Amino acid sequence: MTSGLPIEETSDGVIINTKVKPGAGKSRVKGVTGGILSIDVKAQPEGGRANREVEKLVAKTAGLPKDSVKITSGKKSRRKRIRLTGITKAELEDRLANYF
């Protein structure tokens, strides 16, 4: 299910593109649609709560500590770029493949 997800490799990790739906019934990583990782979070987009939940959920899904995942752009948008440090492109692809 990770096919079609462009993963940009950096010197210390990777960057992925996501589309987030805040205020969902439950928090979950739904899959890849149109080259973007779709994520639902229960939290509302108030006071950064939804963004914190996105970072926490992506970290859990990738098997990384919470502080290894940061939203780099799109903090006030549903479309976000997320940096994951301490993981390679191949490792993330394997972990996402096992997740779905």
Q: Give pLDDT tens digits for 42-57.
A: 999 999 999 999 999 9
Number of other residues whose CB lies within 10 A of the CB of residue 17: 19
Kindly report the CATH class assigned to 8-99.
alpha beta
Long-range contact set of residues 8-14: C-beta below 8 Å, sequence gap at least 24: 9/88, 9/89, 10/83, 12/85, 12/86, 13/68, 13/83, 13/84, 13/85, 13/86, 13/87, 13/88, 14/83, 14/84, 14/87, 14/88, 14/89, 14/92
> For 18-49, what is each residue's pLDDT tens digit?
999 999 999 999 999 999 999 999 999 999 99
pLDDT of 79 > 80? The answer is: yes
Q: Which is higher by pLDDT, 100 or 58? A: 58
Q: pLDDT-based confidence at 2, cuts 50/70/90?
A: low
Average pLDDT over residues 68-83: 97
The confidence score (pLDDT) of residue 99 equals 74
Q: pLDDT-based confidence at 3, cuts 50/70/90?
A: low
Could you state, in order of their start, the residue ranges of all structural domains in the chain?
8-99
Q: pLDDT-based confidence at 1, cuts 50/70/90?
A: very low
**What Å distances lie between residue 67 and 35, 45, 63, 86, CA to CA?**
25, 20, 12, 10
